[in-house]
Amino acid sequence: MVGATAFETKFGFRRNEVTLANWRTSPFNRWAFQHAGEIVPSALIASVRSEEPPPVDMSGLLVEKLPSGSETIAAFLKRSDTDALTIMKGGRVIGDWLAPHMAFGQRHIIFSISKSLTAILAGILEGEGKLDFNAPVLEYLPEAAGSAYSDATVRHVLDMTVSIDIEESYLDPDSAYGRYRKATLWNPGGGLESLAAFLMTLPRLPGEHGEIFRYRSPNSDLLGLLVERASGERYADLMREKLWLPLGAGSDAFITVDMEGAPRAAGGISVAPRDLARVGEMMRQGGAANGRQIVPEAWVRDTISAGSAEAWQRGAMAFLFPQGRYRNKWYQTGEGAYCGIGIHGQWLYVDPASEVVVAKLSSQLEPVDDPLDLEIVAFLKALSRMI
């Protein structure tokens, strides 16, 4: 690219071409997913800022028994639009992979893995006696009266079994989901309605809560409001105090916020790859890190073993994990491993049997790509066995 700036050479487009209207589309997402805080208002989750050992390249290792045959780690990651990968084994970082446009230690948006982190905060508050999972939502948010949440419990919100009338229409700006994105300031035209105000208008579907797994992101933003209301603290401050500092995170994180400063708890967190892997390792260690119990071990056991198999089977994602379940905003694979997943290819995979944790951050073209997701599950399983 003759006369190009360093930015253009690295990413293939100019910085001023990235806008609120296109930041989640290719090729602009390759930069935007690492700089969400420059596009959407965000709150800082500060770390202690420790020195990180240098990256360990594992790109040439061959992964076997994939649906596509055998592939090197680099080959699979490149064709799945991966930006960064970190692998931990037995609590130690043993490998990293970085795309040319991703700097070592750079933060990256994790989309719906944010839900899994928000649920960890809920688990901490439950352990402190500040949040009752069996309590009605109205006990904490009386303003939810008249909405889909008016007769739901916190447990229904945690397990995505609220009978709520909204679809995850990621690509339709004129849908109710498009209005939701405006309320989060993620789409142009926001700032006229707050996230909380939007959530309180969501209607109910017929049928009982608790019967069907319905993946609906507004539930997790409501959980963010529940966490703030139950703790009396701002989300970012609570995350820093209860998780980020005890975890020993090496880098600051941040979370996007709406016009009132409410957190996008369902998808707005950005973290460095190794810090995301540290969250997975904490879960593998039963909620402990650095000699400290961060989230109760009983909550971790519940997260990785409980939940309704029937509700999962009635939902639309059972194809991904045929023997799986969903509990506390974490996916159980049904084969011992569990994970957090975000659109555009974000994965946090924990395999207790092999003591492996994998954090995979990506900028996939489509928000949801079911065939590729199945390939990624096979890759993560094979990688864990190999490591």
Q: Which of 112, 116, 194, 308 is catalytic?
A: 112
Provide the residue ranges of all domains of the chain, joining segments of one domain with +.
1-32, 33-133+218-386
Virtual torsion, Cα 259, 260, 266, 267, nearest 10 deg:
40
Helix axes 273-284, 113-127, angle to 10 degrees: 40
| CATH architecture of residue range(s) 33-133+218-386 | 3-Layer(aba) Sandwich (3.40)
Tens of pLDDT along the chain (387 residues) come to: 556 788 999 999 999 999 999 999 999 999 999 999 999 999 999 887 666 777 778 888 888 878 878 899 999 999 999 999 999 999 999 999 999 999 999 999 999 999 999 999 999 999 999 999 999 999 999 999 999 999 999 999 999 999 999 999 988 888 999 999 999 999 999 999 999 999 999 999 999 999 999 999 999 999 999 999 999 999 999 999 999 999 999 999 999 999 999 999 999 999 999 999 999 999 999 999 999 999 999 999 999 999 999 999 999 999 999 999 999 999 999 999 999 999 999 999 999 999 999 999 999 999 999 999 999 999 999 999 988
Q: pTM of the full predicted structure? A: 0.95
User: Is 112 assigned a catalytic role?
Assistant: yes
